[in-house]
Amino acid sequence: MASLVALVILSPVFVLIVLAIIIEGFLIPKNRGPVFYTETRMSQGKPFTLRKFRIFKTSAYEPIRRSGAMVHTKKIEHDPANLTWTGNLLKKFYLDESPQLASVLFGDLSMVGTRPWNPADYQREVEKGILRKKNIKAGLTGPVQIHKRNAKAYGGEHKLDSDYGSFCKTHSGFRVVLHDAWLLLQSVAFMLRGQGL
């Protein structure tokens, strides 16, 4: 229900984003490309298609994708030269991630959860007997996303995910709902501050 309400409320923003991407591609040919960027990610052991608004120039990732190698988007994003003008703005407010609300609606993601990983990294962790990503549905947001700027201060991304999984396992449903609601509020505040990495 929350994802459906958010999709309805944000629908005018989505239209503006789509138009901005198309118009930028028309005005700046090197920034042309698809409106969405897709990747295969894992949630509770099942692969799903994760969609984002495309924020990079296709020249930054298409050669890697054609080679069959894993596209590490964070590395691409950290070089401003790889981003489109619209992409720079979307990244700042995490609006590139907003199409994932549809994945929540379809049941592939939870509003709050562990960070969805690519199949290779997910499989390596499961083979080590670490099942946090298998036992808990991946989330649109969560402790890792909220603490991107200071994850090391909390023990790193792995510990943040593990601590969230432990909390869900050891507390009642109502406590988990309240905890997730607090994480959602923090996520919204993080977005509004425009501190996207």
The per-residue pLDDT for range 69-109, each reduced to its tens digit, is 777 788 888 888 999 999 999 998 899 999 999 999 999 99
**pLDDT for residue 67:** 79
Report which of 72, 53, 52, 59 is spatially closest to residue 31, judged by C-alpha positions. Answer: 59
pLDDT beyond 60 at 65: yes
The per-residue pLDDT for 193 is 81
Mean pLDDT for the chain overall: 89
Q: Do the beta carbons of residue 51 and residue 100 sit within 8 Å?
A: yes
Task: Please say whether the beta carbons of 53 and 99 come within 8 A.
Answer: yes
- What pLDDT is attached to residue 145? 84
Q: Say if residue 197's pLDDT is above 60.
A: no
Q: What is the CA radius of gyration of the chain?
A: 17
User: pTM value?
Assistant: 0.87
Query: Are residues 183 and 142 in contact, defined by beta-carbon separation less than 8 angstroms?
Result: yes
